[in-house]
């Protein structure tokens, strides 16, 4: 079998960001207010610092203001919830991003739920999960939303296909599976307690790897012709899929870097501009 075609997230993300930048400029001209994203970071985890910086840089280039709120690592859930409620009530802020992961002492769900649904541009609240799961308009979780855009861009219709999602995190695996289900895929979730991961993956027409275990998914388990989406973020820009072996079996595959990652940030920017437009009444 020939090698898989690469799904170029960098190129698609660039187009989405260019479009968001045009909308941001138009909005700023019409209202005198630029879209504003608040970025909240608890602690100084080096990867999280990098991701937040990347988001701020892309915002700046797209004409979106960002307001950074760094909090010490020992911030309590109550203090974090207070900060997020303040940002939710601040009319100058249109979108809120709470960088994940936070320290184990933080009640992550309580924090996410302190974000006003109309500012939940990262798609992390229960309200966003519900609209996403029913395929209704609303904010999607950014990486899963980016994955669906990539599938559409490369002509992959999930309807009737068997999709296997490896991972069940609140911001990645779970919403990715729900978005695929909303598009009529037959979805199986695999996780740390799955008895035979290889057997499940071998059945998949679409594999979404979102577990944070470097090169966990090997080419030998990929069904020939499957679509492979690698949403794993591991140190050193290594994905959850063993690319070199998977590329020999898949029909389409996302690289790391240059696949799902850029789509995450593009989706965030796009949703921030949409949130601002709605809040500014345009």
Ligand X SMILES: Nc1nc2c(c(=O)[nH]1)N[C@@H](CN(C=O)c1ccc(C(=O)N[C@@H](CCC(=O)O)C(=O)O)cc1)CN2
Contact residues toward ligand X (CB under 6 A) are: 51, 54, 97-100, 122, 142-143, 171, 233, 237, 256-258, 261-262, 264-265
On whether 261 is known to bind a ligand per the annotation, the reply is: no
Q: Which two tokens stand for residue 224?
A: 């020939």
Is 279 assigned a catalytic role? Answer: no
Q: Which two tokens stand for residue 102?
A: 């936070």
3-state DSSP assignment of residue 6: strand
Q: Which residues contact 81 (CB under 8 A, 6 or more apart)?
A: 110, 111, 114
* Residue 183 annotated as binding site: no
User: Residue 116's closest CA among 281, 264, 278, 282?
Assistant: 278
CA 65: distance to chain centroid? 20
CB 67 within 8 A of CB 96: no
Q: Which of 56, 99, 271, 279 is catalytic?
A: 99
Min dist. Cβ of residue 122 to ligand X (A): 5
State the nearest-atom distance from the C-beta of 3 to ligand X, in Å.
20
Neighbours of 195 (CB within 10 A): 7
Cβ closest to ligand X, residue 24 vs residue 98: 98
Contacts of 116 by beta carbon, 8 Å cutoff, 6+ apart: 88, 89, 96
Active-site residue, from 23, 56, 122, 242: 122
Please identify the residue of the shown chain whose CB is closest to the bound ligand X. Answer: 261
160 annotated binding-site participant: no
From the CB of 258, what's the least distance to ligand X, in Å? 5
When the beta carbons of 98 and 156 are compared against ligand X, the nearer one is 98
Q: Which of 55, 119, 174, 223 is catalytic?
A: 55
What's the min distance (Å) between Cβ of 188 and ligand X? 23
Q: Which is nearer to ligand X, 200 or 269 (CB)?
A: 269
Q: CB of residue 141 vs ligand X: minimum separation in angstroms? A: 7
State how far the Cα of 206 lies from the Cα of 259, in Å rounded to an integer: 15
**Contact indicator for 119, 145 with CB cutoff of 8 Å:** no
27 vs 267 by CB, closer to ligand X: 267
Contact 252, 156 (CB under 8 A): yes
Q: Residue 195 to residues 121, 191, 211, 259: CA-CA distances in angstroms?
A: 36, 9, 16, 29
Known catalytic residue: 55?
yes
Of residues 17 and 276, the one with the C-beta less far from ligand X: 17
Residues in binding site: 167-169
Residues in binding site for NADP(+): 167-169
Q: Which residues are catalytic?
A: 55, 99, 122
């Amino acid at each position: 079998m020939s090698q898989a075609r690469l799904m170029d997230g960098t190129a698609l993300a660039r187009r989405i960001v260019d479009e968001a930048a045009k909308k941001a400029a138009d909005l700023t001209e019409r209202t005198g207010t630029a879209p504003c994203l608040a970025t909240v970071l608890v602690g100084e985890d080096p990867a999280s610092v990098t991701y937040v910086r990347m988001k701020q840089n892309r915002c700046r280039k797209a004409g979106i203001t960002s307001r950074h709120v760094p909090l010490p690592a020992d911030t309590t859930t109550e203090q974090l919830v207070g900060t997020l409620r303040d940002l939710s009530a601040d009319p100058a802020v249109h979108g809120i991003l709470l960088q994940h992961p936070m320290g184990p002492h933080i009640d992550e769900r309580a924090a996410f739920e302190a974000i006003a649904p109309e500012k939940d541009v990262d798609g992390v609240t229960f309200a966003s999960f519900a609209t996403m799961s029913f395929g209704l308009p609303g904010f999607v979780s950014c990486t899963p939303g980016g994955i669906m855009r990539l599938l559409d861009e490369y002509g992959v219709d999930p309807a009737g296909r068997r999709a296997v999602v490896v991972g069940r995190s609140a911001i990645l695996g779970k919403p990715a599976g729900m978005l695929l289900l909303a598009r009529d895929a037959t979805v199986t979730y695999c996780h740390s307690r799955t008895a035979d991961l290889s057997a499940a993956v071998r059945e998949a027409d679409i594999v979404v790897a979102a577990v944070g275990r470097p090169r966990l998914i090997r080419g030998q388990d990929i069904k020939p012709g499957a679509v492979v989406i690698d949403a794993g973020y591991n140190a050193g820009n290594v994905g959850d899929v063993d690319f070199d072996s998977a590329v020999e079996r898949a029909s389409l595959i996302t690289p790391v870097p240059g696949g799902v990652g850029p789509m995450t940030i593009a989706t965030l920017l796009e949703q921030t501009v949409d949130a601002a437009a709605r809040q500014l009444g345009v």
